[in-house]
């Protein structure tokens, strides 16, 4: 039986690993894969790490992983504090909210459902914030195409997450 | 995939489809011959029948649009992701948005009593 402190250390280490993975995936995607020509939709590989955090560590740590990832990737790509950073942050928080809501429903949804909900919330929030920023509803015109793409990318990252979850043994944090 | 997942996927697909006519209504029936460039400084109407370049002062730099062969596209921009440049030609229902610069390009909505609207 491990102590409370032990499991806290494990949880902290795992959080740090997931942040690192999320930053690597986010940065690789930003540099290697061009954003799709519709509303800056990305595949969202970094969200896989957030899904892992949500599955293993709970909602608080998932938000931490997501937000720290957005800040670090923005710092690396030089967009920190700019509008693009605000869009990314709003998308990340919206995706986290949607994924937590879906995850709370228990076994009704799998990680595929989490991912789809997350990516749909991500693009919707981004377009909404972009509309405020631009000062007109023009960005919202892209909502149908963005949601369609988000559905596809959500399914891709969801399947990848499920594949990973089935291979990685769940770290037992409370007792072992 | 669980049954919940399937329902969720259908829901998002339905939302995308329902948003389609909604965004069409928002844009109005577009005229094909005039584009509207909107930036933080104001609105510019651009005739699409003459080849020309237009520079819009964005909130963090310049966004350059070019009209060629009756179509408008974004050529360069100071934003990080260049989504606007990659958007290609301006088409009905597909605006060009450079969100970091606060610049948009749309086709002008046709006025209600327009001759073209009646003769259509």
Domain limits of chain A? 4-167
Q: For residue A112, with 0-12 CB atoms within 10 Å meaning exposed, 13-18 middle and 19 or more buried, which class applies?
A: buried
Residues B93 and B62 grouped into a single domain:
yes
Q: Does residue B45 sit in the same domain as residue B101?
A: yes
Question: How confident is the model at residue A30, as a pLDDT?
Answer: 85
Counting the structural domains of chain B, the total is 2
- Asked if residue B41 and residue B4 are part of one domain, the reply reads no
Find the mean pLDDT for residues B24-44.
82
Chain A / chain B CB contacts < 8 angstroms: 128
Q: What is the pLDDT of residue B109?
A: 76
A173 close to A55: Cβ distance less than 8 angstroms? no
Chain mean pLDDT for chain B: 85
Q: Closest to A79 (Cβ–Cβ): which among B22, B40, B80?
A: B80
Q: Do B95 and A139 touch (CB under 8 A)?
A: yes
The answer to whether residue B77 sits within a structural domain is yes
**Residue with more model confidence, A68 or A168:** A68
A45 part of contact set with chain B, CB < 8 Å: no
**Judgement on whether residues B59 and B98 belong to the same structural domain of the protein:** yes
Q: Is residue B15 part of a domain?
A: yes
B-facing residues of A in 107-136 (CB < 8 A) are: 107-110, 112-113, 116-117, 120, 130, 133-136
**B39 in any annotated domain:** yes
Residue B100 domain-assigned (yes or no): yes
Place of tokens 């595929």: A112
Q: Looking at the structure, do residues B68 and B85 belong to the same domain, yes or no?
A: yes
Q: Are residues B25 and B48 in the same domain?
A: no
Per-residue model confidence (pLDDT) at position A103:
96
Q: Given an 8 Å threshold on Cβ–Cβ distance, is B5 in contact with A39?
A: no
Same domain? B24 vs B40: no
More reliable by pLDDT, B80 or A48: A48
CB contacts, 8 Å: B15 with chain A: 120, 147
Nearest to A22 by CA among A1, A42, A51: A51
Q: Distance between CA B14 and CA B38 in Å, rounded? A: 31
Task: Please state the three-class secondary structure of A109-139 as a single string.
Answer: CCHHHHHHHHHHHHHHHHHHHHHHHHCCCHH
Would the CB atoms of A142 and B83 count as touching at under 8 Å?
A: no
pLDDT over 90 percentage in chain B: 57
In this predicted structure, the answer to whether residue B52 has a pLDDT above a threshold of 60 is yes
If one compares B60 and B8, the residue with the highest pLDDT of the two is B8
Long-range contacts formed by B83-89: CB under 8 A, 24+ apart: B83/A35, B83/A37, B83/A39, B83/A40, B86/A34, B86/A35, B86/A37, B87/A37, B87/A38, B88/A37
The candidate with the shortest Cα–Cα distance to A127, out of A115, A117, A142, is A142
Examine the pLDDT at B120 and tell me if it is beyond 70: no
Taking the CA of residue B36 and the nearest CA in chain A, the distance in Å comes to 11
Reported as a single tens digit per residue, the pLDDT across A94-151 is 999 999 999 999 899 999 999 999 999 999 999 999 999 898 888 888 888 899 999 9
Residue A4 has pLDDT above 90, yes or no: no
Rounded to the nearest integer, the mean pLDDT of chain A is: 90
**Pure H helices in chain B:** 3-27, 83-86, 115-119
Q: Do B104 and A136 touch (CB under 8 A)?
A: yes
Q: Give a yes or no: residue B93 inside a domain.
A: yes
Same domain for B41 and B56, yes or no, is yes
The CA angle B1-A90-A77, to the nearest 5 degrees, is 100
pLDDT at A37: 67
Nearest CA-CA distance, residue A71 and chain B, Å: 15
How far away is chain A from the Cα of B39, in angstroms, using its nearest Cα?
A: 8
Q: B100 and B71 in one domain?
A: yes
- Are B55 and B93 found together in one domain? yes
What pLDDT, on a 0 to 100 scale, did the predictor assign at position B117?
45
B80/A83 Cα distance (integer angstroms): 10
Find the range with the poorest average confidence among A12-26, A29-43, B70-84, B90-104.
A29-43
- What is the C-alpha separation between B78 and A12, in angstroms, rounded? 39
- Chain B residues in contact with chain A using a Cβ-Cβ cutoff of 8 Å: 1-5, 8-9, 12-13, 15-17, 19-20, 22-23, 26-27, 38, 40, 59-60, 79-83, 86-88, 93-95, 97, 99-104, 106
DSSP code per residue over B47-67: ETTS-EEEEEEETTEEEEEEE
Q: How many helices (H) and strands (E) does chain B have?
A: 3, 7
* Predicted local confidence at residue A173, as pLDDT: 60
- Is B114 a member of any domain? no
Question: B39 and B64 share a domain?
Answer: yes
Residues A158-165 have a mean pLDDT of 95
Chain A residues whose beta carbon lies within 8 Å of the beta carbon of residue B87: 37-38
Q: Reduced to 3 DSSP states, what percent helix, strand and coil does chain B have, rounded to the nearest 5?
A: 30, 40, 25
Instruction: Write the CATH number for B97.
Output: 2.60.320.10
Residue B111: pLDDT band by 50, 70, 90 thresholds? low
Per-residue pLDDT, averaged over B30-48, amounts to 88
The whole-number pLDDT of residue A149 equals 93
pLDDT at A175: 40
pLDDT grade, residue A1 (50/70/90)? low
Q: What is the 3-state secondary structure (H, E, C) of A132-176?
A: HHHCCCHHHHHHHHHHHHHHHHHHHHHHHHHHHHHHCCCCCCCCC
Has residue B119 been placed in a domain? no
Say if residue B51 is in the same domain as residue B84. Answer: yes
CATH number for A4-167 (one of 1.10.1760.20, 3.40.50.10190, 3.10.20.340, 3.40.718.10): it is 1.10.1760.20
B115 in a structural domain: no
- For A45-99, the pLDDT digits (tens) are 999 999 999 999 999 999 999 999 999 999 998 889 888 899 999 999 999 999 9
Domain membership of residue B11 as a residue range: 1-29
């Amino acid at each position: 039986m491990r102590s409370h402190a032990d499991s806290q250390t494990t949880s902290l280490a795992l959080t740090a690993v997931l942040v690192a993975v999320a930053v690597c995936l986010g940065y690789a995607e930003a540099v290697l894969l061009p954003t799709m020509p519709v509303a800056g939709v990305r595949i969202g590989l970094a969200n896989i790490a957030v899904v892992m955090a949500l599955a293993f560590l709970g909602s608080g740590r998932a938000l931490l992983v997501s937000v720290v990832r957005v800040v670090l990737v923005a710092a690396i790509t030089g967009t920190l504090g700019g509008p693009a950073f605000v869009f990314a942050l709003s998308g990340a928080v919206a995706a986290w909210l949607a994924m937590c809501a879906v995850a709370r429903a228990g076994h009704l949804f799998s990680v595929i459902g989490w991912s789809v909900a997350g990516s749909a919330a991500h693009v919707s929030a981004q377009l909404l914030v972009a509309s405020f920023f631009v000062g007109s509803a023009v960005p919202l015109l892209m909502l149908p195409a963005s949601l369609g793409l988000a559905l596809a990318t959500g399914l891709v990252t969801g399947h990848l997450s499920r594949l990973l979850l089935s291979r990685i043994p769940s770290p037992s944090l409370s007792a072992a | 995939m669980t049954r919940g997942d399937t329902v969720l996927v259908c829901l998002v697909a339905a939302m995308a489809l329902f948003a389609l006519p909604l965004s069409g209504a928002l844009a109005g029936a577009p005229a094909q011959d005039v584009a509207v460039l909107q930036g933080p400084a104001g609105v510019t109407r651009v005739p699409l029948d003459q080849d020309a370049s237009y520079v819009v002062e964005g909130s963090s730099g310049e966004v350059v649009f070019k009209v060629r062969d009756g179509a408008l596209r974004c050529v360069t921009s100071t934003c990080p992701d260049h989504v606007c440049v990659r958007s290609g030609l301006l088409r009905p229902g597909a605006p060009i948005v450079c969100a970091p610069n606060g610049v948009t390009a749309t086709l002008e909505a046709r006025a209600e009593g327009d001759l073209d609207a009646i003769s259509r």
